[in-house]
């Protein structure tokens, strides 16, 4: 180790420069006069060598600088911002400080001193390189980050490393970390129609079609590659359209479907029993292997590409994807397949298709008015948009854009039309996209800002919010109330928890850094009957002084919804579940802090003889912007590693099934309810949590979020009697005579 010297972060420098030879961990000498450094005043100075420097920052992280020039005559060591940017380190200048991050993770910070931004460094690490020590292949394979064996051997041939053996067997770490999916080998195609049907279901990312459809399902004949597409509203309709498809194709071709291949999705579960009954073999792909259903996947991809091209070329709104997709399938059946050389239509029908009547999708069409709508004087046509081809008709499908006699946005079928294939009406400014209706849902409207005057939400003159607690609001007040001894004991308990958790360490405040403040929050915890359970003191950092992208980068942390708690309690009453409650002591102190944050010593707990020092936070603290996020990440990773799965609707509800038993954890910051089908699995879960965090076992659940839980037989009652009683006492209405139906006095 060497003493710390100043390192200035310079956005104008093009190279890292160090004046101290002993700071280098690796060093290569340069001949005199071979390389120079040009200074700002046009002078030059000699470079004696170059190498690598390791700087340990006050944040605890190490900054590695490569290709650093050794220039003894330089007065201040220089770090180039441009070179840091090339390795992914972002440097932000904020008034009198700098912040370094990499991939949105805090690295270090510095301060402004005498016109320069100086990096906060605790020490310079000086270690000698061991690149030329003769070691085994396994050792060099590990040192090089488990790189491919061919590169390790190439380094040996180049003379950069020495090894006394060669590769021996497989590396378990490489297999675990680099394993890839196996190749899907080609399967022989069928030699007859309906021998094998490929099927897949897809959606358009919640974009509803004009008719309210959200999904489409495809059926592809393996021999001819003839495809049928059905638009559906819900996934469970896939089985219904399969029955429709099966009845149609088997009747038309006078053949039977032999096999059908699909994924393991829930929409195909109903196929199993039906296929067994009908003698059809239902082949399913291996789990998480969509490539095994490659024929259907590639067909869906091709259809989506053609559909997207049609929508873009015609400037049609997204809700017309259904019409475009059906047209894409219609065209694909009439395009030769690369393997067979024939069109799917020809192999399916037995004769070649007629392509003379094809037109450009989305183009303008002048459609003759029907006889009942014709007029003696005036135009005999209306402007329509071409939408495709009907399934069982020789006509065309159109969308009415402009007509005096037919309702706007109506879809019609007719053959009396003249096409203008080079004109796309929706590209004309006179026919905006948002004018097309979507029946039940509005089209993709252009977002606009409302011009209405914003008004404050009012719940009426008789709507109030009351605070009924009378806890101390400051440390000074807590030391002068009648129950000051209880509050002093609560403060000592909080400080002991903080010290036990190694939340901070006392250090001298680095130059340029500014500490944030802290304060005490006092709260009485009550039993269900209203008596005091305990006095609780919480040390809270003044996170409102933190600056975004400097002191914190992300703050989001979910909590369970009260509706989720009510649903779980209803399930507990229905299935007679065991309900226990636990509280995490100083939960936020468990989160690991990534940023470099300094805090003043808490009031009443200043260490004698170290009054001028500050607390460097090693773990998160209540009040910090990122504290909830760090705590949630900590407990979330712990529960996931133990086999718990988060609920899709509420990410703070976790469930786990084990040996036929079920346990559910409902987490609200540091309070948690544990539901179980038996007391054994609940006790096992409590033991697991207690081994990782300092917990308080509160036994059977009584109160959660101020709501009292009362269990009577097979039912569960929820009550806020305590809160209502406090509210009545506060405003002098507790002694009033109760009535069954209150009403306002006239």
Check if the beta carbon of residue 663 is closer than 8 Å to that of residue 676.
yes
342/374 same-domain check: no
342/369 same-domain check: no
Residue 584 included in any domain: yes
Residue 175 included in any domain: no
Sign of CA pseudo-dihedral 271, 274, 280, 286: positive
pLDDT in tens, 566-613: 888 888 888 888 889 888 877 777 777 878 888 999 888 888 888 889
318/369 same-domain check: no
pLDDT band at 387 (very low <50, low <70, confident <90, very high): very high
Residue 237 included in any domain: yes
697/646 same-domain check: yes
Q: How far is CA 520 from the centre of its chain?
A: 35
Pick the closest to residue 424 from 399, 449, 405 (CA basis): 399
CA 238, 239, 245 angle in degrees (round to 5)? 90
> Around Cβ 58, how many Cβ atoms within 10 Å?
19
Q: Which domain covers residue 68, as residue numbers?
A: 7-125
Answer yes or no: 10 catalytic.
Answer: yes
Considering only residues 397 and 433, tell me which one the structure prediction assigns the higher pLDDT.
397
pLDDT band at 430 (very low <50, low <70, confident <90, very high): very low
Q: Show which of 349, 384, 406 is a domain's final residue.
A: 349
220/327 same-domain check: yes
pLDDT at position 217: 94
Q: Name the packing angle between helices 294-314 and 321-332 (round to 10°).
A: 120
342/237 same-domain check: yes
pLDDT at position 448: 47
CA distance 220 to 200: 9
C-alpha dist (Å) from residue 37 to 19, 68, 77, 215: 13, 12, 13, 65
Check if the beta carbon of residue 444 is closer than 8 Å to that of residue 320.
no
14 token code pair: 């093009």
89/238 same-domain check: no
Exactly one of 10, 200, 221, 671 is catalytic; name it: 10
119: phi then psi, degrees, rounded to nearest 5: -80, 140
Residue 657 included in any domain: yes
CA distance 691 to 372: 83
| Mean pLDDT value across residues 262-291 | 87
pLDDT at position 434: 44
Residue 684 included in any domain: yes
Exposure string over 251-278, b if 16+ CB within 10 A, otherwise e: eebeeebbbbbbbeeebbeebeeebeee
Q: Taking every pair of C-alpha atoms in the chain, what is the biggest distance, in angstroms?
A: 106
Residue 534 included in any domain: yes
548/674 same-domain check: yes
Check if the beta carbon of residue 253 is closer than 8 Å to that of residue 194.
yes
CA distance 318 to 205: 11
Residue 577 included in any domain: yes
pLDDT in tens, 28-40: 888 877 788 887 7
pLDDT in tens, 191-246: 789 999 999 998 877 788 887 888 999 999 999 999 999 999 888 899 999 999 99
494/553 same-domain check: yes
Exposure string over 453-485, b if 16+ CB within 10 A, otherwise e: eeeeeeeeeeeeeeeeeeebeebeebeeeeeee
Residue 399 included in any domain: yes
688/607 same-domain check: yes
387/250 same-domain check: no
pLDDT band at 346 (very low <50, low <70, confident <90, very high): very high
Looking from the CA of 491 toward its CB, the CA atoms found within 13 Å total: 21
Domain CATH for 272? 3.30.420.10
pLDDT band at 183 (very low <50, low <70, confident <90, very high): low
Query: What's the total number of domains in the chain?
Result: 4
Q: Show which of 93, 125, 157 is a domain's final residue.
A: 125
CA distance 388 to 572: 55
CA distance 343 to 334: 5
275/371 same-domain check: no
pLDDT at position 443: 36
Q: Show which of 77, 96, 125 is a domain's final residue.
A: 125
> Around Cβ 9, how many Cβ atoms within 10 Å?
20
């Amino acid at each position: 180790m060497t003493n710390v010297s100043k390192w200035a972060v310079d956005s104008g420098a093009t190279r890292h420069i160090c004046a101290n030879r002993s700071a280098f961990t690796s060093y290569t000498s340069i001949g005199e006069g071979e390389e120079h450094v040009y200074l700002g005043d046009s002078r030059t100075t000699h470079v004696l060598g170059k190498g690598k420097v390791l700087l340990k920052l006050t944040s605890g992280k190490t900054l590695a600088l490569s290709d650093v020039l050794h220039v003894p005559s330089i007065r201040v060591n220089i770090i180039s911002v441009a070179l840091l940017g090339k390795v992914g380190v972002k440097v932000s200048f904020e008034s009198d400080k700098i912040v370094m991050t990499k991939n949105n993770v805090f690295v270090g910070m510095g301060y402004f001193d005498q016109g320069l931004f100086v990096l906060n460094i605790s020490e310079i690490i000086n270690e000698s390189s061991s690149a030329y020590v003769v070691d085994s292949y396994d050792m060099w394979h590990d040192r090089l980050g488990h790189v491919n064996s061919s590169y390790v051997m190439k380094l040996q041939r180049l003379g950069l490393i020495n090894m006394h053996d060669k590769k021996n067997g497989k590396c378990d770490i490489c297999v675990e970390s680099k394993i890839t999916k196996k190749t899907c080998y080609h399967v022989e195609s069928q030699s007859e129609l309906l021998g094998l049907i490929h099927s897949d279901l897809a959606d358009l990312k919640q974009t509803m079609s004009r008719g309210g459809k959200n999904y489409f399902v495809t059926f592809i004949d393996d021999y001819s590659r003839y495809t049928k597409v059905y638009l559906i509203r819900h996934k469970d309709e896939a089985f219904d359209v399969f029955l429709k498809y099966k009845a149609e194709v088997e009747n038309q071709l006078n053949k039977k479907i032999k096999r059908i291949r699909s994924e393991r999705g829930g929409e195909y579960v109903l196929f199993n029993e039906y296929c067994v009954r009908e003698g059809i073999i239902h082949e399913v792909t291996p789990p998480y292997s969509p490539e095994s259903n490659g024929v259907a996947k590639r067909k869906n991809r091709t259809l989506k590409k053609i559909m997207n091209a049609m929508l873009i070329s015609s400037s049609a709104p997204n809700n017309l994807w259904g019409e475009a997709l059906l047209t894409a399938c219609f065209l694909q059946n009439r395009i030769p397949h690369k393997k067979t050389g024939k069109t799917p239509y020809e192999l399916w029908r037995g004769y070649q298709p007629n392509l003379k009547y094809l037109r450009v999708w989305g183009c303008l069409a002048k459609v003759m008015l029907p006889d009942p709508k014709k007029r003696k004087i005036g135009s005999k046509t209306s402007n329509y948009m071409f939408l495709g081809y009907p399934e069982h008709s020789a006509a065309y499908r159109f969308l009415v854009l402009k007509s005096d006699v037919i309702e706007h946005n109506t879809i019609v079928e007719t053959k009396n039309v003249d096409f203008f294939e080079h004109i796309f009406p929706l590209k004309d400014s006179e026919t905006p996209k948002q004018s097309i209706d979507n029946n039940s849902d509005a089209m993709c409207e252009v977002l606009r800002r409302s011009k209405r005057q914003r008004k404050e939400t009012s719940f009426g003159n008789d709507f109030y919010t009351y605070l009924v607690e009378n806890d101390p609001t400051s440390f000074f007040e807590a030391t002068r109330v009648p129950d000051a001894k209880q509050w002093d004991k609560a403060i000592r308990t909080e400080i002991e928890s903080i010290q036990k958790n190694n939340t901070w360490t006392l250090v001298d405040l680095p130059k340029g850094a500014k500490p944030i403040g802290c304060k005490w929050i006092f709260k009485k915890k009550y039993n269900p009957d209203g008596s005091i359970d305990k006095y609780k003191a919480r040390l809270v950092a003044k996170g409102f002084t933190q600056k975004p992208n400097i002191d914190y980068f992300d703050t989001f942390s979910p909590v369970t919804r009260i509706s989720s708690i009510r649903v779980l309690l209803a399930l507990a009453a229905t299935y007679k579940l065991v309900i226990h409650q636990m509280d995490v002591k100083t939960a936020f102190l468990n989160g690991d802090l990534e940023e470099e944050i300094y805090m003043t010593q808490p009031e009443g707990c200043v260490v004698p003889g170290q009054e001028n020092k500050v607390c460097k936070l090693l773990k998160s603290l209540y009040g910090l912007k990122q504290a909830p996020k760090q705590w949630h990440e900590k407990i979330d990773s712990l529960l996931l590693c133990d086999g718990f799965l988060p609920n899709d609707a509420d990410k703070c509800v976790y469930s786990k099934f084990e040996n036929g038993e079920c346990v559910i954890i409902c987490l609200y910051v540091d309070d948690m309810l544990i539901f179980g089908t038996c007391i054994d699995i609940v006790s096992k879960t409590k033991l697991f949590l207690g081994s990782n965090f300092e917990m308080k076992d509160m036994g059977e659940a009584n109160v959660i979020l101020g709501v009292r839980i009362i269990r009577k037989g097979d039912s569960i009652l929820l009550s806020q009697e305590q809160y209502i009683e406090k509210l009545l006492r506060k405003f002098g209405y507790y002694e009033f005579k109760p009535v069954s139906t209150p009403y306002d006095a006239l």
